Structures are given as C-alpha cells and as structure tokens.
Chains A and B, each alone.
Chain A
C-alpha cells in the first residue's frame, strides 16, 4: 500500500518519447517479501530500452543497464553532481550548506574528497575492527536471550551509529536524532522533509564544527573542519557540509545494507547453516550479500544537450543511476540475482563508480562482515518473525522494520 503522497506528476516534455514513459516513484513503499532491489528488476525487465523516464519527483530519466548507469555515475563531463536528489534540493534557496564533496564536480571535487579519503582508508578501518566487534557483541548480548528482535533498530542501525559517533567523538545518545534526520533527507516522509531534515542536520553539526575549528583533535570532525583545499582552510559552510555528509552517510546506508542481507539470510536456512558450519566463508558471503543488495540510487544533472543511448537529453534534465541495476546486470555478473557465496571475487558497484565512489565502502563492508560473524556465533539459526516486511525505495533504500526470531 502506498502510504506516502506521491509527488504530483509533471507533464512529459516534448523531447521524451512516450514509449519510454513509466509511472515510477523512487520513494515507493511496499509491504511484502520482494526486496526493493528487485523492484528495479521489474522496471528494467518491463522496458526494452536502456533508459526510461518518469513524471514523478520532478520528472527524471532512469538509466536501466549497467554500462549506462556507470557512465552516468562517472562521466562528469556530461553528468553533474550538482544535484543528486530527485526532486532537486536547492541548497541556495534554503540556505543549507550543500553536502560535500558529493555535490561537487571536478576539478573542485578532488581536493575536498582528499580530506575524507584517509579517514576511512584500509589502515584506519582495520584499526576499528575491535571496536566494531565489541559494539556488535554488546548489542547482541543484550537481546539474544529474548529469542527475537527488531533487527533494524536493535542492531543494524546501532552499529554504524556507534562506530561513526565514536570516530566523530560525539555522544552515542545522539544517534537516534541524527539517524532520523538522515533518513528524512534520503527517504522524505512529506514533500518538505528532505529540506527540513537537512536543516536539522545543519543545526546539529554547525555548532560542533565551529567548536572544533582551529583545534588539534584527531577525531574525524576535527580532521574535516581543519582540512585544507588547495592550501586554504575550509570555509565554515563547506566544513559543515563535509561533516554532515560524512556522518550522515555512515549512519543510514550501512544499516540498510545489513537489513537486506539479513532479510535474505532469514529466509534461507540452508545458507545460514553453511556459514555456521564454515565460518571462513563469512567474509566472501558478506561481500556477495553486499553485491546482491545495493541500496543507493543517486541522480545526476545533465550538463548540456546530449545524445545518450539513442535519446536526446536536455540541459538540466535529471537522470537517476540505480546501483542495483549495475550489480544485477547479466552482462556484468553471471546469474546476477543468485546469491552465490562461491562467486569469484570481483569489484562490484554497490558503492558506486568513478570519483564519487563511496569513500566509506571499506568501512561499511567491514561492519557488515563483523556483524554477520558475531551474529552467527550467537544466533546460528533464525527466521523472519512476520509474514511481510515494509520495504522502502529511495536515494537510499530501506526497510522500516525487520522482525526476526530464533530458539534459545
């Protein structure tokens, strides 16, 4: 059932051929047993064309094939990151700092991004493994004897929140506030929610950023706000934009990936059994689950009139790039829908493609792997404790709740 009022459709512009117009709402919610990634398959498999166009959410193109989606994500000459949400969020109109560096194009993007990269590189992520493990174990020990839990709120959202707040030297008690605001931006509950939630994040992070500017702290916020771009210290708005994106991105996305991975495992006792009997498979299994269930679908703005896969795209058109349809493209991954823990290791695109590829991907995958290891040690057999789940698509796909149960 549709519980959220859909954004009113706009008229189909003359340069969009009627045969590729679909009624597709990125923020669709559905209750059932079909995860949001597979809704993208329904959309793609109903089209013979590599692009579709929907009048919802301001009207936008959707790239449907892996190769085209990778082009949209990585070719900044044709596709700008100035706007990545549909409908667009106009930061200048609402005086909120734009999230950085996700909304920057080259050549500006590189130096901003270079501030973030070292914070979540392989070395520091490895140093966080013990923290992640103890956080996961602590949450699990709190609920495992109950024989049931609501996975998203009891575990999946709490781990990334605890980790990113520890890295940011912020109180863990603020996790729910930041997490809710972050969800409001990526999955707005009403038409103004994206903008209002973004303002809420700004109101939270601006004082924190201001306090740490000029200090010598080694926490990620201090490192960001005291970062330099081409020799100059970051401006105040830029610093806030960087901080809110770094912290917000780490909260919302990783929990969603864990949710979809556990939804799959809950319904596949054979796969649970295999991992419990062969725990050395868990790292590969975690990678495969991350491949099978990508959650991000960001947009790009077309920079100038172009011809793209046979269609005429106009300046300022928005085009959506669902990562699920890269990893689930048969041309790129054989039997892509199958979850195969023996699949040869290969780079996938859950974390995007090109210079905007998510810098937190290594951290997120490490959290998923350790969460799975700690969970299966304590809860080797579990199942869904509901007939259906409330799934939600969006810039970041999500699920409202994932009730699980097990014998204890």
Chain B
C-alpha cells in the first residue's frame, strides 16, 4: 500500500492508502474522494479525473501520452501540472504523492 494525499481548493486535505496495482483515479474512487469522478473508467477518454500534481512529484511521473495531453487541454481549469489521475499507476516511489483537486471536474 502507498499513501496518496488530496488537497481540496478550500484547504481541506484527505489521505488515503491505496494498493500498488491501482491507478490514482481508481484509488480515489474506491475511497470516495468526491472531487475525482472518472466517468470513463480509466481510458483517458472523459477528462473527469483531473488532478494537479504537486511540484515535488511531477518529475517522478512518466510523461503523458498524446491522448492524455489532448485531454489535458480540454479539462476544466487546466494548469501546467495537470494530469489525468487514471493515467498514473501507483508505485513505491509515489508513496506520499500530493495532488490538488480542481474546483470542479465539469
């Protein structure tokens, strides 16, 4: 299990423990993180599992695919550190990763 931290816009913070075989989107859904929807179930198709990756962690992630990059342009409130959490697979070196939740997925 690894730890994942979600920071909400309003300053609220939520920590979850998730298994290594999950994507962050799946882990968020399994733990009822309200700010992550993940409508399409993990195909980088819907843009509703959008998160902001804390600066300390961005370099540890594999770069987004072309399909994810295209979707990151059309999520709500995109930033330079935007990612689709369904495309981030949890791994040991991501233990403690800190993510910001956008104001809304829609």
Contacts and interface: CB of A to CB of B under 8 A. Distances in A.
A49 B73 CA distance: 46
Contacts of B40: 355, 357
Nearest to A366: B106
A172 interface: no
Given A114-B67, A114-B70, A126-B106, A121 B47 contact: yes
A347 B40 CA distance: 10
B14 interface: no
A368 to B, nearest CB: 13
Contacts of B38: 347
A117 B45 contact: yes
B57 interface: no
Interface string B72-106: 01111010000000000000000000000000011
Identify which of B47, B66, B105 gathers the most chain A CB atoms within 10 Å of its CB. Answer: B47
A123 B47 CA distance: 9
B70 A362 contact: no
B106 A362 contact: yes
A126 B73 contact: no
Given A114-B70, A117-B70, A122 B43 contact: no
Given A123-B47, A125-B106, A359-B45, A117 B71 contact: yes
Contacts of B47: 117, 121-123
B45 A122 contact: no
B4 to A, nearest CB: 20
A362 B66 CA distance: 22
A181 B50 CA distance: 37
A196 interface: no
Interface of A: 74, 110-111, 113-114, 117-118, 121-126, 347, 351, 353-355, 357, 359, 361-362, 366
Interface of B: 37-41, 43-48, 50, 66-67, 70-71, 73-76, 78, 105-106
